[in-house]
Amino acid sequence: MEISPVTGKRKLSEEVSEEKTAPETEAQNSDSAVKRRNISRTCIHEVATPNDWNSSKDESIHGTLENPIYNGKMAKTYPFNLDPFQQVSVACLERNESVLVSAHTSAGKTAVAEYAIAMSFRDKQRVIYTSPLKALSNQKYRELNQEFSDVGLMTGDVSISPHASCLVMTTEILRGMLFRGSELLKEVAWVIFDEIHYMKDRERGVVWEESIIFLPPAIKMVFLSATMSNATEFAEWICNLHKQPCHVVYTDFRPTPLQHYVFPMGGSGLYLVVDENEQFKEDNFEKLQETFTKQKNQLDVHRNGKANSRIAKGGSASAGSDIYKIVKMIMERKFQPVIIFSFSRRECEQHAMSMAKLDFNSEEEKAVVDQVFKNAILCLSEEDRNLPAIQLMLPLLQRGIAVHHSGLLPIIKELVELLFQEGLVKALFATETFAMGLNMPAKTVVFTSVKKWDGDSHRYIGSGEYIQMSGRAGRRGKDERGICIIMIDEKMEMAVLKDMILGKPAPLVSTFRLSYYSILNLLSRAEGQFTAEHVIKNSFHQFQYDKSLPDINKKVSKLEREAAVLESSGEAELAEYHNLGLEVAQLERKIMSEITRPERILYYLVTGRLVKVRDGGTDWGWGVVVNVVKKPPSGVGSLPSALATSRCSNYLVDILLHCSLGGSRQKPVPPPPGERGEMHVVPVPLPLISGISNIRISFPPDLRPPEARQTVLLAVQELQKQFPHGLPRLNPVKDMGITDPELTELVHKIEELEQKLASHPRHESSQTEKQYKWFQRKAQVNHEIQLLKSKMRESQLHKFRDELKNRSRVLKMLGHIDADGVVQLKGRAACLIDTGDELLVTELMFNGTFNDLDPQQLAALASCFIPGDKSNDQIHLRTELAKPLQQLQDSSRKIAEIQRECKLDINVEEYVESTVRPYLMDVIYCWSKGATFAEVIEMTDIFEGSIIRLARRLDEFLNQLKAAAHAVGEVNLEEKFEAGSLSLRRGIMFANSLYL
C-alpha cells in the first residue's frame, strides 16, 4: 500500500504579551505575584496529498496547498480576530479540501465548523453536522439555530426540519442514511464530524469509521478533535481513502493559560506544581510529598482513635470536609465559577449535599433561578413536578450549587447547563461527561480524585482525559488564567503527575470490528459498490497496520542482532535444565488448581503460613498469610483475576506481600527485581495462590507500623537465602492427607522431576545462574521474533477475512442469507436494526416469541436489548414476564453456540449476559401499563435519568422493529410494536428537551 506523502509542514506563530496575577499559596513566594507571560499562538499546518496531485486553485486568492491563505470575500465575518489556526482552517475550507482541526477545549474549533456551514449556505449546498451523543446534538442544534436560521435536527427520537440546509444528527443516523443510499446526500457538500476522537470508543467507534468510508468522494469533511498525537496519520488515511488532500491544523495554544495546584487530603494549603508557562515545579512537589510523610509520622505516634483511621485511609474519610474547605476558599478568593469533577455519580450528589451551609447567590439571582426553574418544569404534569428528584434540586440551585451527571432527569440536567451558562450556578459537581460538548467554561476546575474505575481496574486518569476536563478552566476574555486543583490522598510518583498534566494525549487507535448489521447492509446494497472486504481493506485499522510494518521489520532486525551475540556455550545442557524446570512448574500449577479448593486448603491457610502468589504474568513471590475472609473479591485493593471461579471467588486471603513504593492501595504492584519496596496487606483471591509452603513464621500482633511489616520482609528474605532452590512446600499427599489417585500420580511425577533437577550437572554449577539468564533472554528474544514475524505474515485483512467467512456461515445457518450470499427475508429485517442485537431480535420475530405477547409484555422484553446501568437489586419478575425472558435467554444461548460452532471466539455465558439485560423489565412493563413515574422509580435502584435514557432508546428500537416487521410483511407484529411504542410515549419520560 502506498502512504500519501505529508507535505508543507510549517509553523505559524503570533506573540502577545500579557500580565498575569498568580494566587498566593503556601508553596509560592509573594514576590512572584505579578508575572509577564509571552503567549506564542503556535499553529502547525500539514497536508497529506495523493501522489501526482495537481491543484487548480488561483494562488492569488487561495495560496498554495502547502501554504493556504484566503484573500477572497469571507462567507462569514466574526466579531473578533481569528487566531492563526482558525485562519488557516478557513483557508483550507475555501480551497474545498477536507481538514482536521485539533485543538484544546475552548480554543475555538466551533468557529471553523460555523464557517463551513456559512460556506454551504453561500454556495446553496447542504451541510451535515454530526455529534456523538443525542444530548450534544440537541445542544448543538440550539446553538446553530441561533446563528443560522435554516437548521434541522435528526436523532433517533427527534426529527425537526429534516429538509433544512444544515442538519444536526448523531453519527448512527448518518451511517443509516449512507447504507440506505439516501437521496439527501446528493445535495450535501460538507460533513462536520465533531469530537472525532470518539472514534476510539470500543463500542461505537466503528460507526465513525464506516461513515467516513461510505461518504462519496464529492463530499468534503471537517474533523474537530481534542488534541491527539497522531493527527497526521489520520489525515493520511483520509487522503488514501478518498484520493484527495486532507489538511491538519493543530494548535496547543490555550486562550487562557492554566495553573495546576495539588491539595493533599487531610493536609492544608495548595501546592503549585505546573505554572502558566507549563513549567513543572519540582521544589513544590517535594514539599507536597513531605505533607504525606508528616501524616505517616502522625500515624506512628497516634495509633488509636479517629485521627488514626482518617490518616490510615489517606484522608479519604475527610474528603467531604476537604472539598468543603476548597470550595469555601474558592468563593472567598473569587475564583468561581468552579466545576468539581468526581468519577462517581453518587459522590457528585453527596459532595453537593455537603455544601448545605454555603450560599453563593444574591436574593436577585435566587429570584431569577426560581423563575427559570418554574418555566422549565411547566411542560411537566403536576405530579411529575412534585418528584423528589425535581423538588430537592431547587434549594441547591437557588444557592448557586448544582449537580450534573448522566443519571439525572434530562430536564434537570439541561436546566443546570442553562443556569451555568448564565452564571447562576457558581459551584457545579459533575462527572467527566460535562467536559464533552458545548463550551461551558469555569474559572476553576477541581478534581476530587486522580483515579477512576474503568471497568477493569482503578487507574490514574490519562493525559487526554485530564486535558479534556482541565480545559474547562479559564474563560476566554474573562479570566487572566484558569485554575486547576487536584486532590490526592497518597504520595504520587513525580513522573505520573507530570505525565498526567503535561503528557501527550493518547493516539487515536482504530477499534474497527465486523458487525452482522454492516455485513447484511453491504450484501443488500443494490449497486454492490462496497463489499465487506472493501470496507476492511479501507478501514483505519488496516491503514494503521500497514503503516506499522516498517517499524516491525526494524524491531525484528534489532532482536535478531541481539540473539546473535547472546552467549550460547553449553546451550543444549541449559535447554535441558530449563525444560525440566518448566515441567516442574507446569505440574505445580496442576497440583495447585486441585488443592486450592476451599474444602482442601482453608485449614492450612493459618496466620503466618508462607504462600506464593501469581496473578497472570505478575509473580509476587512469597508472602505471609494474615487472615482469610469469605466475601466476593471486588473490594478496593484486591488483586482481580479472570481465574476466580464462582466457588473459589467467595474467599479472599489477606496476605502480607512485598509491594512497590510506586504502587497504590487500589492497584498494588510488586517491586522491580532488586528494588526494595514495602510490605502491605493485600486481599488476594484464592485461585491466585500458586504455592503453599510447610513453613510458618510468627510476626508482630500490630502490623500497622511500617517497621513491623518490614521485619516480616526480612524474615522471608532470610528464609529464601536458606533455601536457594525454593522454599519447601506442603506435600498434598503426605502433609495434607489428600488421597485423590490423580493428585497422587502428579505428586509422584513432580518428585521424580525434582530428583532429576537436583542431580543435573547445572544444578550446583557456579556459572549456571549467569549463563541461565543469558539462555532465558535468548529464548525470550527468539519468542518475540516469532511473534513479530507471525504478525507480519498474518495481515489484518487476512484475519478479518477469516472472521468474515465465519460470520457469513452464521448468517447462512440462521437463514439470513442463502448459499450464494443473497439476503433473505430474515436478513432484510436485520438490516433495519442497529439499536439492539440484530441476530437475536430477528430470531424472536421469526420463531414466534413476539406473537404470544401483548404490547406491554413486548415493550418489557425489548428493554432487555438496550444497554444501560446494572441494578444491584435482586430481580423479581412477575409470571407474565418470566416465560418470555426464559425464551429470550434460550434464543441467545442458541445463537452463541452457533457462533462458537462457526469458529468465532464467543463465550456462551458472557454472550447471554451481554445481550440479555433484564434490569428494567418490570419498570418498563408497569410504565407501559400506566403507572406513574413516582411509582416506577421506587421499583429499582437505577438512577431516574438512566431509566429515561433507556426508555427513549427503547422507543427508537421499537420503531426499528416496526420498520423491520413492515419490510417482511408482518402486519400484526408491526401494529404490536407501534402499540408498545405508544404505551411508552408520555409524561416526564418523553418531555421535550429545553434546547428544542
What does the block give as the cell for 648?
473459589
Q: Which of 836, 825, 829, 807 is nearest to 954 (CA)?
A: 836
Determine the pLDDT at residue 29. 36
Q: Which of 168, 57, 154, 67 is nearest to 113 (CA)?
A: 168
Which carries the bigger pLDDT value, residue 793 or residue 47?
47
Least confident piece of the model among 396-400, 612-616, 681-685, 854-858: 612-616
Which carries the bigger pLDDT value, residue 796 or residue 915?
915
Mean pLDDT, range 48-70, rounded to an integer: 85
- pLDDT band for position 1 (50/70/90)? very low
pLDDT in tens, 819-833: 888 889 999 999 999
What is the third-level CATH fold of 832-990? Sec63 N-terminal domain-like fold (1.10.3380)
Determine the pLDDT at residue 754. 67
Instruction: Report the predicted TM-score, pTM, of the whole model to 2 decimal places.
Output: 0.75
Q: Are 973 and 850 in contact (CB under 8 A)?
A: yes
- pLDDT band for position 950 (50/70/90)? very high
Q: How far is it, in rounded angstroms, from Cα 993 to Cα 996?
A: 5
Determine the pLDDT at residue 784. 74
Sequence-distant (6+) residues with CB within 8 A of 901 are: 813
Which carries the bigger pLDDT value, residue 56 or residue 776?
56
Mean pLDDT, range 855-867, rounded to an integer: 93
Q: Average pLDDT of the chain?
A: 81
pLDDT in tens, 333-392: 888 899 999 888 888 888 888 888 888 889 999 999 999 999 988 888 888 888 988 888
Determine the pLDDT at residue 744. 74
Which carries the bigger pLDDT value, residue 280 or residue 309?
280
pLDDT in tens, 743-766: 777 777 777 776 676 666 555 554
- pLDDT band for position 297 (50/70/90)? low
Mean pLDDT, range 221-236, rounded to an integer: 89
Determine the pLDDT at residue 794. 61
Mean pLDDT, range 401-416, rounded to an integer: 91
Mean pLDDT, range 622-639, rounded to an integer: 64
What does the block give as the cell for 802?
477469516
Which carries the bigger pLDDT value, residue 575 or residue 951?
951
What does the block give as the cell for 771?
549463563
What is the third-level CATH fold of 596-730? Elongation Factor Tu (Ef-tu); domain 3 (2.40.30)
Residues recorded for the chain: 996
pLDDT over 70 (residue 573): no
List the domain boundaries for the chain: 6-23+33-250, 277-343+431-504, 345-426, 596-730, 832-990
Instruction: Determine how many CB atoms are found less than 10 A away from the CB of residue 247.
Output: 27
Sequence-distant (6+) residues with CB within 8 A of 500 are: 450, 460, 461, 462, 463, 466
Q: How far is it, in rounded angstroms, from Cα 84 to Cα 584?
A: 66
Least confident piece of the model among 113-127, 252-266, 526-540, 829-843: 526-540
715-749 burial, b at 16+ Cβ within 10 Å, e below that, comes to ebeebeeeeeeebebbebeeebebeeeebeebbee
Q: Are 830 and 842 in contact (CB under 8 A)?
A: yes
Does 6-23+33-250 carry CATH code 3.40.1190.20?
A: no
Instruction: Determine how many CB atoms are found less than 10 A away from the CB of residue 689.
Output: 22
